[in-house]
Amino acid sequence: MSTLQRLILILAGVWIVVKLVLFYSGNELNYTQLVVSLNIGFTLYIIYKALKGHYAALDEKGTDFLQDFKISMKAAVQFSLIIFGFLAIYYLTIDTGYTEGLVDKQIELIKAQVSEAGGYDLVMEENKSLINLPEGEKLPSEEEHYETTKDNYMQMIKKVLLPLIFIYFFILNLACSSIMSGIASRIFGKQV
């Protein structure tokens, strides 16, 4: 196992410990930005170390952007696969209420906006023409409406949460790798 792979495992372990500590302390919703920032920071550091090692091993002929990009993506993907695997297990088994907490926050936001607009009944009456109800049906009560909205949000999140996390890591890897590879020759190239 190379030193870069050990670094990837250590940083992934640190990230996982932070995520679990936040979960067990009840702060997983409050510190989401911290966890995302750590992930980005660790990804950038791993790419930095991979490119620095790559440039240290170069001979006189140098390298090009595509080679730098390949080196950086390889390191970033290793880290991301560990984190993504953990998150898949985490959201499916450990923190199954996370998505419900997100949905509850959105429902509270909707309730506040409806209240500011004059209340549920007024908003529903003003938008009755936009609501597709079978003839003779009445508008749902406020509680029925919020329960249906919550169910719809939950179904959507369950279908798209893991794919969205995977896409996030893929885009993060592409962005970080291309940015770091693009500036790597300017940083490390002079040392060769």
The 10s digit of each residue's pLDDT in 89-123 is 888 788 777 777 778 888 888 888 888 888 888 87
Q: How many domains would you assign to the chain? A: 1
Distance from the first to the final alpha carbon of the chain = 26
DSSP secondary structure, 34-59, as one string? HHHHHHHHHHHHHHHHHHHHHHHT--
> What is the pLDDT, as a whole number, of residue 6?
95
Look-up: residue for tokens 């390298």?
A: 63
State the virtual CA torsion across 37, 9, 48, 40 in degrees, nearest 10.
-10
Looking at the predicted structure, is the pLDDT value of residue 192 above 60?
no
Structure confidence by residue, pLDDT tens digits, 41-75: 998 899 889 888 888 887 666 677 778 888 888 88
Its domain, for residue 27, covers 3-191
Amino acid at 105: K
Structure confidence by residue, pLDDT tens digits, 8-47: 999 999 999 999 999 899 887 778 888 888 988 998 899 8
CB 71 within 8 A of CB 54: yes
Quick one: what percent of the chain has pLDDT higher than 70?
Answer: 93
> What is the pLDDT, as a whole number, of residue 61?
66
Give the residue from 173, 190, 188 showing the smallest Cα distance to 53: 188
Give the residue from 88, 75, 79 showing the smallest Cα distance to 11: 79
